[in-house]
Structure 1
Amino acid sequence: MATPILGMRFSVLFMVGGAVPNPIDLRFAKVSGLEMTVETETVVEGGQNLYTQQLPQRISHGNLTLERGMVVGSPLNLEFNATFSAFKFAPCNVLVSLLAEDRAPLAAWLFMKAWPVRWATSDLDAGQPALVIDTMELAYGRMQILRV
């Protein structure tokens, strides 16, 4: 019987210029947006009232969203800052890997030509001792699902 796979062990690698960034930019608390959808067109046939035909049109996807505690001195922060302050874009590939208990990869998602579209910081509240969370959202050209 197969053991259920837990989604709590994962890594995120930003491959800027073919190189892997420093260890600060590997650790995230949450990753979302691992999805694709086939868009369809409904075709109604003349004289056929029992059903319609669904024809595939294209693949669509949302954005990749990453969350982590606020980090100072991160190269990824510099890339996001360049996008949002100087409107400079440097698309890169991002590899999200699901890891087994022994840290061996079980599955992966490769996001090609990813670039920042949103950067948000959690609310600051003097009445609550909570971590400051950065949320980073990336658009991308294509996603490739890799099963190990």
Structure 2
Amino acid sequence: MEALETFKNIADPNPALSHRFGVFFFAGGFIPNPIDFRFQRVSGLSADIQTETINEGGQNLHAHRLPGRINYNNLVLERGYSTSVIPSPLGIEFNVAFSRFKFQPSNVLVTLFEEVGGIIDTPVPIAAWLFMKAYPVKWSVSDFDAQANSVVIDTLEMAYTRIQSVSI
């Protein structure tokens, strides 16, 4: 019975909620973007290792599977289409990439928060992922539909060279 109590203390009974997050862009890798940090959805936080199969002569029971390169999915960011008079640096970066084919990779930090109660709820970072040298690869706007009363969604997709989990 004591082992069960110990396990309950080790296991997290309250897993993190996915709706408390922030996305922070660092132009040139260092200067934070103060405007583009609110997004409706973030996806593509994944990596997998490709494997190479090698068959050994005379060995018919199994093949050797060796690790190869790491494959990263694109980072996909979705937000409501902005009509603000303050220009979005991220929107400008995407516009330059798609109209002039010029790229300025930046680092992107996706942070998961937990609310700590008190007089004022304070978001505290509990996990983070750093996407290095991210650059635009796809930009789309949701369909316009006269029969729907929904927000226009701006979807921004970025490729990156590497993802690193950051200890908090």
* CA offset digits 1:81-131 (Å, max 9, x no partner): 111111111110000011112311111111111000011000111221110
Report the residue type matching 1:92 in the other structure.
S
Match of 1:124 among 144, 147, 151: 144
Q: What RMSD in Å do the two structures reach over aligned CA positions?
A: 1.1
CA distance in 2, matches of 1:14, 1:31: 14
1:80 aligns with 2:94: yes
Match of 1:14 in 2: 25
Q: CA deviation at 1:76?
A: 1.0
Q: CA deviation at 1:135?
A: 0.3
Does the residue aligned with 1:100 lie in a helix, a strand or coil? strand
Match of 2:37 among 19, 22, 26: 26
Match of 2:107 in 1: 93
With normalisation by structure 1, the TM-score equals 0.94
Match of 2:51 in 1: 40
Structure 1: where are the runs of 5+ without partners? none
CA distance in 2, matches of 1:86, 1:59: 30
Match of 2:163 among 126, 135, 143: 143
Structure 2: where are the runs of 5+ without partners? 1-7, 117-122
CA distance in 2, matches of 1:76, 1:36: 24
Percent of aligned pairs with the same residue? 52
Does the residue aligned with 2:129 lie in a helix, a strand or coil? strand
- Give runs of ≥4 in structure 1 deviating > 3 Å: none
With normalisation by structure 2, the TM-score equals 0.83
Report the residue type matching 2:19 in the other structure.
M
Does the residue aligned with 2:31 lie in a helix, a strand or coil? coil
Q: CA deviation at 1:147?
A: 3.5
Tell which structure's C-alpha radius of gyration is larger: 2
1:106 aligns with 2:93: no
Match of 2:120 in 1: none
CA distance in 2, matches of 1:125, 1:114: 32
